[in-house]
Structure 1
Amino acid sequence: MNLSKEERLETINKLIKFISERGRRFFYSNRTVNLDNVDSLAFMKLKNGRIYFVDDYTRKEIAVINNYRDWNGFSHGGTLRALILDFAEFIRTGKYTNGNNGYGGLYCPHWGHSDEIQQEIINYAKEIGYLKGESE
């Protein structure tokens, strides 16, 4: 199944939304820098051929480039940053990228979710084609 870059972007945005609705609700904020009581969801987008992460809290567009130091406006920590880099690499290449940028990706045991929720996220990621299935 060869997806286009746009289809891979859509896959990742579905996964970000799925993650934001479970457990610790990463990628979701109920406020932004400028507004309280809003539902704000992070997402990735293509602009001028580049991949950007739009932060759920700051609403800033952050160019997702490996080894790029300036993630000004990124409101999360290193584990999510590594996951965003994995996501961008998947969008760019269409190849299996989970954990390529450290922390073990979605299989990392340190997300702070219950095992059940973490497994739900992993199963969904397999279902939509981000993670490899057991047979691959």
Structure 2
Amino acid sequence: MNDINDLIKLIASIERLTFYSKENISGQSNQKAYVKFRTQLFFVDNYTGEDVYPYVLRRDPNGFSHGGNVWQMINSFREFIITGNCGELRDSKEIWAYSYNEGCMKIRNKGKEIGFVESNVYPYSFDE
């Protein structure tokens, strides 16, 4: 769980600042998303501040302020934390509009370092 939180912090700190809110709806400043255990694993949304249960079949989870691709990634984080099975960082260049070297590859390298993804090779790279 700590490794996934480190990955979330990285994503919150570069380029588009996904998982970061300068101010959330409660008026708190500099909020970053994270995962935590209560009685189950929860994703704490950076904008709403709410605990969101990351379960893939749920279409519009209460308290979740991101879109469908991020929802899929949060579910992949949950699966990795619970089972240790590798996850996916799909579409993290085009969908999130991160640059190749300064964004996408930093995220992919961190994902590989913690064992979240098997390879840091970006499937849509033009630099092969």
How would you bin the TM-score normalised by the shorter chain? Answer: 0.7 to 0.9
Uncovered stretches (5+) of structure 1, i.e. residues with no partner? 1-8
Deviations, residues 89-112 of structure 1 (Å, cap 9, x unaligned): 11111011216xxxx265x53220
Match for residue 14 of structure 1? Answer: 6
In the TM superposition, 1:1-136 aligns within 5 A as 9-35=1-27, 38-48=29-39, 50-98=40-88, 104=90, 106=92, 109-116=94-101, 117-133=103-119
- The 3-state SS of whatever aligns with 2:112 is helix
TM, length-normalised to structure 1? 0.80
Tell me if the contact between 2:86 and 2:115 (Cα under 8 Å) persists in the aligned partners.
no
Give the 3 Å change call, closer, same or farther, for CA 69–133 of structure 1 in structure 2: closer
Count of matched residue pairs: 119
| Paired-residue identity, % | 34
| 1:66, distance to aligned residue in structure 2 (A) | 2.1
CA distance in 1, matches of 2:10, 2:114: 11
* AA matched with 2:59: R
Report 1 or 2 for greater relative contact order, CA contacts < 8 Å, sequence distance ≥ 6. Answer: 1
What do the CA deviations read for 1:47-72 (whole angstroms, capped 9, x no partner)? Answer: 11x11110001000011112023511
- Once superposed, what is the RMSD of the aligned Cα atoms? 1.7
2:110 and 2:78 map into 1 onto residues whose CA distance is 18
Q: Are the aligned partners of 1:54 and 1:62 in contact in 2 as well (CA < 8 Å)?
A: yes
TM-score normalised by the chain length of structure 2: 0.85
2:23 maps to a residue whose letter is R
Q: Runs ≥4 in structure 1, deviation > 2 angstroms?
A: none
Please give the secondary structure, in 1, of the residue aligned with 2:107: helix
Q: Decide whether the 8 Å contact of 1:29 with 1:40 is kept in 2.
A: yes
